[in-house]
Structure 1
Amino acid sequence: MASPAVEQKLAAARKLGHTLAADADTDIDSIYIGGSLTAGLGNATSDADLFALTGHRGHAGDEATQFSVDGHRIDVERCSLSEVEAFVADLTGFELRRDNLTALHGLPKALDFVFRLNASETVVDSERLTALRGRISDALPALRRTMVNYSAAAINGHLEDFLGAAAEGDLDTAAFAGQHLVAFAGKAVVSAAGDLYFSNKWVYKQLARTPVEGFPVDLFTHFQRGAWTDGGAEAAEELILFVQTCIAVAQLLANTGTPLGAWPSWRPGTAKDGLWRSTGFNVLHTSEGILLHWELGRQLLLKEAPAFIWALCDGRSVEDIVEAVRDLGASVPSLKDMPRARVESVLAALRNKGLVGTEPFSRLSSV
């Protein structure tokens, strides 16, 4: 239940929305409140964002004004219906391929706008606004995949800074870059769990309200706040592995519709004979399959089952991996009834490709 302060802000926004819609000199089609307040994430200091969809041409967000209503600041964006409809069509129809990975970097504005609309409160409705909501609702599984892919791609931008600083022993700068890395990893997790909102600043609230069974929030917090720096380079390597785990699990389980709580463990294994996946690869879900992507380096496309087995190589023994595949097979069709010999064959192929080894990979040594 929203706090009294939040309810007052929303009431002020509703009041302004009806006032704007009653103005005969405007061509307003519909109005809604969008943003952190209607998404259940905001607080007493959050702004109320009012969106007025109009018939005249223009780009979403081009016309923004502020109003004071009953002592509350209301931000109003006037957006062309035709442009918003194009926005929604482009995003709901987006499909990631190996040859358009850079397109992910152009999606923040669209993702932010569409997720605000999805979590909005209608003030003045219309047939076109209802249709927009319907299109978004029907495309939520695809939008979830796109948001996880965006989070994965955003990690690449901060990883370079993190690796450079950590390799030089500049752990303060590495901690700063690492905060962004882990925040995006957390966003991938909550998005895969179905909690869709764009801004990173609410990731802790999202993890709290959409808990994933077994997810180590304490470890997430340890890395995201930079507490890991006392551990030096070894801890930096652990952070990289944790971020990769978050992305891999989010990509793999969200695609199969399996709850993320089915993942056997988010923490590295401790087996003496454990197998380790290469931490140089980002994990993206494309129309062709699971793409292991090393920025400015290698790309390998895996089918779903080998991708799961690769992701499970985080210090587990072969026996542990076989058991994990068996357990996941209860909810992941591609792993159902997979025999031990098949798992071992896949592991051998992954080792031959340099994707898996018998010792932890050092990402910092590759800088």
Structure 2
Amino acid sequence: MSPNSTLPSLEPTAPPDVGLGAEHLDAARAVLDSVFGERWPRLVFVSGSLAAGLGHAWSDVDVYVVDDAGDIESRAYRRGPHTVQINLMTPAAAAAAVSTCTGFVARSDDRTQLEQTEDAVRVAVRLAIAEILHDADGVVPPVQERRTAVRRLLLGRHALMVGSYAEDVLGALTSRDPWTALRSSELALEHGIEAYLTAHDDLYVGPKFLYRRLARTPGVGTGVAAMWDLLARGDLPTSPEDVTRLVVTRLRAATLLMADGILSGFDEPSSSTLGGTTTDGEPEPGTLVTSPWFCPIRFSNGWGLAGPDRGFRVSGPVVRIWSAFDGSPADAVLARLGAEDEAFASMPQADFHAAVEHLRSIQALTVDPCSLLEERR
């Protein structure tokens, strides 16, 4: 009998969430009392995979404490069936996480908040999804406020990464380096998927739960299989044309997922569905589509479309128009947008076509996704 023979067959569904329960919090409090008595550290919270609803049979109860005195030890404690892991935070790390959770302030001309280290972002995410056990100074914002701030931050960071990897793909293909193009497009799509999950208020940092998180998200459905097909390293592409086709498909999916995320999940958690966002097949050759080399991003002071070597200020409606071009005629795109949103129903056709022409002039909309590549060679 093989080691995995007792596991159920794989299906595109997620197991039930395993989150923090009363027994986990009771175990954490018992350990904190035994270690600190009545003088708990000034900030204590429980977070980690259990707080994200992603626990498994061996998940620890992760407790984070601020180490003001410098004499607290990081270690694990056993309480009944649970392992309680005490994790230390420096006062500076805690202050940075609180600041991030207080509000999204990144601007197009000041990206400092977006450029934090991954460790700093991970701490902020853990605080955003945490169960707060003790906040002596009352500095931690309410849960919805901190989740909104971190959701916006993660969307911005994923947009920067999608745009960066798209540029790497373009450079690799121009240099006839298929391996870097394939890997960079894979990473871009992973960040696009993360943006989609983030928009649905699934806040997490780390790759191991990617498919489980997709499978549990309402509205994903067969999109799990579609993303698997695009990401999985199946048959090796046999020609430069095959490589280009695959990486362009991945980048287009990544940028459309990114657009959907910032359009539908920036202010409130998204309820969009994955089917139709990226899984309706390839447009007919010669029809007007989004360029795979452009990625939308949203700052606290506006919107942008980032292309190779340059970026453009745009508006939310322009990003919406850009993302809607899937090979359909322009008038059909406007009619579809109008059926979804009254603002587009009342938009003068002249204004719509002016926006489309501007997007074409900067090459963000194109009838040939590979034209920019050919220009660079």
TM-score by length of 1: 0.80
Answer whether contact 1:63 1:79 (CA < 8 A) is retained. Answer: no
Per-residue CA deviations over 1:22-67 (Å, capped at 9, x if unaligned) read 2x6x65235332101221113224443211235x267xxx966122
Answer whether contact 1:66 1:73 (CA < 8 A) is retained. Answer: no
Aligned residue in 2 for 1:247: 258
* CA pair 262-168 structure 1, distance change in 2 beyond 3 A: closer
* CA pair 69-364 structure 1, distance change in 2 beyond 3 A: farther
Counterpart check, 1:200 vs 2:207: yes
Aligned residue in 2 for 1:20: 35
Distance in 1 between residues matched to 2:316 and 2:291, nearest whole Å: 17
From 347, 351, 373, the counterpart of 1:338: 347
Q: Percent identity?
A: 22
Counterpart check, 1:232 vs 2:240: no
Matched letter for residue 311 of structure 2 = Q
Distance in 2 between residues matched to 1:64 and 1:229, nearest whole Å: 49
Aligned residue in 1 for 2:99: 89
* CA pair 345-299 structure 1, distance change in 2 beyond 3 A: same
Distance in 2 between residues matched to 1:305 and 1:214, nearest whole Å: 28
Counterpart check, 1:132 vs 2:140: yes
Aligned residue in 2 for 1:116: 126
Corresponding residue SS for 1:360: coil
Q: After the TM superposition, which residues 179-328 of structure 1 pair with which residues of structure 2 at under 5 Å, given as runs? A: 179-212=186-219, 216-227=223-234, 229-230=236-237, 231-255=242-266, 257=268, 259-261=271-273, 265-267=277-279, 270-271=283-284, 274-295=287-308, 297-328=309-340
Corresponding residue SS for 2:140: helix
- In the alignment, structure 2 segments of 5+ residues that lack a partner are 1-15
Aligned residue in 1 for 2:367: 358
Answer whether contact 2:218 2:273 (CA < 8 A) is retained. Answer: no
Matched letter for residue 336 of structure 2 = A
Aligned residue in 2 for 1:105: 115
* CA pair 349-112 structure 1, distance change in 2 beyond 3 A: same
Instruction: Please report how far the alpha carbon of residue 69 of structure 1 lies from its aligned counterpart in structure 2 after TM superposition.
Output: 1.4
Corresponding residue SS for 1:252: helix
Matched letter for residue 233 of structure 1 = T
Instruction: Please report how far the alpha carbon of residue 317 of structure 1 lies from its aligned counterpart in structure 2 after TM superposition.
Output: 2.1
Answer whether contact 1:163 1:174 (CA < 8 A) is retained. Answer: yes
* CA pair 36-356 structure 1, distance change in 2 beyond 3 A: same
* CA pair 355-119 structure 1, distance change in 2 beyond 3 A: closer
Matched letter for residue 120 of structure 2 = A
TM-score by length of 2: 0.78
* CA pair 228-108 structure 1, distance change in 2 beyond 3 A: farther
Instruction: Please report how far the alpha carbon of residue 337 of structure 1 lies from its aligned counterpart in structure 2 after TM superposition.
Output: 2.3
Matched letter for residue 18 of structure 1 = D
Distance in 2 between residues matched to 1:303 and 1:156, nearest whole Å: 18
Distance in 2 between residues matched to 1:157 and 1:271, nearest whole Å: 27
Between the two proteins, the alignment pairs up a number of residues equal to: 354
* CA pair 125-232 structure 1, distance change in 2 beyond 3 A: same
Distance in 1 between residues matched to 2:175 and 2:103, nearest whole Å: 43
RMSD (CA atoms): 3.6
From 76, 83, 88, the counterpart of 1:78: 88
Per-residue CA deviations over 1:260-294 (Å, capped at 9, x if unaligned) read 23996424563466212332222110234221123
Q: After the TM superposition, which residues 166-181 of structure 1 pair with which residues of structure 2 at under 5 Å, given as runs? A: 166=173, 171-181=178-188
Instruction: Please report how far the alpha carbon of residue 348 of structure 1 lies from its aligned counterpart in structure 2 after TM superposition.
Output: 2.2
- In the alignment, structure 1 segments of 5+ residues that lack a partner are none
* CA pair 49-113 structure 1, distance change in 2 beyond 3 A: same
Answer whether contact 1:57 1:83 (CA < 8 A) is retained. Answer: no
* CA pair 279-66 structure 1, distance change in 2 beyond 3 A: same
Per-residue CA deviations over 1:286-326 (Å, capped at 9, x if unaligned) read 2342211235x221111222221112223222233122211
* CA pair 104-229 structure 1, distance change in 2 beyond 3 A: farther
Instruction: Please report how far the alpha carbon of residue 101 of structure 1 lies from its aligned counterpart in structure 2 after TM superposition.
Output: 3.3
